[in-house]
Structure formats: C-alpha cells, structure tokens
Structure 1
Amino acid sequence: MYNYNKSDYAINKNSPNIVYCYHNEIIEITLDDYLKENPDKTIDDFVQLKRLSDQIYYEQDRAESAQTRKNVSICGFEDTIYCATQPLDEEWEERIIEVEERKFAWKALEQLFTVGGITQVQKRRFILHTFHGCSTRKISQMEGISHQAVAKSINLALKKLRKFFAAQG
C-alpha cells in the first residue's frame, strides 16, 4: 500500500478499498472481500460504504486539524512572554502613573489654552481633531457647520500654539 504521508484520510481516500486504520495496523477491505463476506450486498452497497468511510475520515481529519491549530507546545514555553503575567502590584503602579500623567497633561493643556489665547470653540475642535482623531467633516456634522469653518478654527488654534511655543523656546 502507498504511504500517503500516513494520514488516515489520505490513505482511505486514495485507495479503491475501504481502509481501517488502527494504531498498530491498517486493514483494507476490497470489493471482492466485501461481496464474499456479504453475499446479499451489491457493488452499489460497497460504493456507498466507501463514500461513508471517506466522509468519516474527512470529518475526523478536519476535527484533528482544527484542534491541532489550537495546541501549543510547552517545550521552552517558560522562556516566552506568554507564560507569565505582570505582577498585580506592578500593573497597578503603572496604571496609577498613567492616570497621573493624563491628569497632568490635561492640566498643562488647560493652562496652555488659557495662556495661548485659544477660545473654547477652538479648544474643543482642536481636542476632537488631535486627540480623538475626528476629521473636520465629522466635527462639522456634530456641530452642524461647514467643515471649512472647523478646519479654519483648528488652524487658528495651531497657529496660536506655535506662536506660544516659539515665544517660550
């Protein structure tokens, strides 16, 4: 029998016979064997049984393939970043620092807008555009104005911020 990469499905599918694959042996049942053992059966019965056998092996092969893709070898797994999580105390410290940095950034931004002479409308549009990633068209839809007016407002805010930083630097 031809070795089809030792896949039970491939062995059965590529054989004209019905193949039973066990852990230690492979048994093939030919049409002649089948008809000899079952005198009341026909060639059509053998063909139907062969199709059923092919379908069963196919479904098993698909199920094994799907399961195998989920398996991960544990050899050397301890060397990867996937095996351990960060200790909770370190994670909490990082989150606290992140929150504090955000608070500081917003306070600095508020002061910058106040000192830079930026209006509340310019500030709102600048924040939406720069920090939230909203397009000028999206902002214009939200506020019910033209996108050119939004773009002009954002550009004026940028111009004032540049002027402020140029004076500081």
Structure 2
Amino acid sequence: MKNYQDSDYAANKYASGIVYRFTTQTIEVTLEDYLRENSGKSEADFAELKAQSDKLFHEQDRSEGRQRKKMVSIHNIEETELVALPSPEDVNQEEAEKQTRCQIVNRALAALTEIQRRRYLQYHVNGLTLRQIAEVEGVVHSKIQKSLLAAEKKIKKILADG
C-alpha cells in the first residue's frame, strides 16, 4: 500500500508553493518565483494556479488508488494472454495506422493559415487560454476565438474527408 505522505498530492498540498517531482529532484515554485517570472501576474493568479495544481494532484492520486485496487496477482501469469506480445502483423498494422494518422494531422495543419496554425497549436498543444493568446498577439480574445473556430472547422472537414 502506498504511503500517503510520500504522494505527489501530499507534497503539493502541504507546501506553500507548487511542487514538481522528477526522478532525480523535487522543485517547488514559490509565490516569489512565480511573480518574478510572470511580471503581469498577481498573488490571486498564483493562488488560483496552486488550487488547480492541488486539484490535479488529488485527481491523479485518486486515479492511482483506483488502479492499485485493480491489480491482479502475478502468480502463473505467464500462462495467460496478458503477457503475449503482439504479432509482427499487428505491430506493422499499428505502425501503418500511426503513419496514416500523422499524415492526416499534417495535412490538416497544412490547410490552416499560418496565423490559424499558430493559434491552434498554442491553444491545443501549449494549453494557452484564448485571453493569453490574445494578450501575446495584442488583439481581442474574440478574434482568437473566431480564428480557432475557423481552424477547427477546416480540420473537421479534412478529417471527415479522410
């Protein structure tokens, strides 16, 4: 059974900052660090981010707990299908499907304008909000929203066409 005090959730919850644990080190981002690196932000922004990180770590901890409850005994497991390796044909088919998906994604992104592509990636890959993107680009957030809706419409059309 996992010790609660050693969990990422407990480490983050009881720290004044936001805790990031890596294999070789643990880093705590304090309010001072956050304000120094994000000149336009306030204590309220940090408190919101801290609350969000606590929530995410809590959800992760609960999910891991559910997974631990599902663990099965490994006695005689070598006789089951659980340890069977995929066949070479399955591996080749999965690789071909992955390449096809990559080609479709590349085609979809190539169909976007440079501005749409940049905004789409900032929003969906980098996780920026509409307002953050608008602030960076110096435009109103409704313009970003319209651009993303148009980009998503193009992408859906390409995905529907295959």
Smaller-chain TM-score range?
0.3 to 0.5
User: How high is the TM-score relative to the length of structure 2?
Assistant: 0.43
Name which structure has the greater RCO, CA cutoff 8 Å, separation 6+.
2
Instruction: Report which of the two structures shows the higher radius of gyration computed on alpha carbons.
Output: 1
